[in-house]
Amino acid sequence: MRKIMILVMFMLFSVILVSGCISNNNQNNETKIYAQNNISFSYPGGWEIANTTSPNAIVAVADPTTVQSGTPTTLVLIQKSNVTDENNLESVYAANYASFFNNTEYQQVSEGNITVNGVNALENIYKTNGSGDQRQYRAVWFSSNGNIYVVLCIAKVTDFEKQQPNFNLVVNSFNAQ
């Protein structure tokens, strides 16, 4: 009988340990899904839909813990424009950045090609120059179903690297229907 009691106590103790670990991991990995306007993507569970007045904006999601003066400093903005015969992904991308970095306000960090949900994408990382809270941006451009999408990830320069897992969650799960 004593052996059974010890075994039952050991099993209960093991269940408590395991359930505590699962609970903590679930909180850290909780996500939400945005699925409207012919797009879908996952975003961090603690983030919220944010108001945006940006041109061609579909939606923005932001970390509410980074709000300063009523505006979040960490967010992802999704923009969309139509592809025409005159403006394909490469030409719109090139036109956007043709004089962008000649302006002393922005400094390019890197540029390259990545894949988003099996689709070739163009990526440009840049930051603001100047005083105050400098921002860093990661713009991922791709074309799908006759539209050009830009997934623009924004954070303070000091927070940008630690936000990459959150930005990757949105970018890597993005899907246009």
pLDDT tens-digit profile of 73-114? 999 999 998 777 677 899 899 988 887 887 778 899 999 999
Write down the pLDDT at residue 10: 31
* 67 within 8 A of 155, measured Cβ to Cβ: no
The conformation of residue 83, written as its DSSP 8-state character, comes to: -
Q: Could you tell me the two tokens for 92?
A: 């719109």
Q: Where are the beta strands (DSSP E) in the chain?
A: 31-36, 39-44, 48-50, 57-62, 67-68, 71-72, 75-82, 106-116, 119-128, 135-144, 147-156, 175-176
Determine the average pLDDT of the residues in 139-161. Answer: 94
Determine the average pLDDT of the residues in 130-142. Answer: 89
Q: Where are the alpha helices (DSSP H) in 30-175?
A: 89-97, 164-173
Say yes or no to pLDDT of 33 above 80.
yes
Q: What does the mean pLDDT of the chain come to?
A: 82
What gap in Å lies between CA 155 and CA 63, rounded to an integer? 10
Determine the average pLDDT of the residues in 102-128. Answer: 90
Write down the pLDDT at residue 146: 87
* 38 within 8 A of 59, measured Cβ to Cβ: no
Write down the pLDDT at residue 28: 54
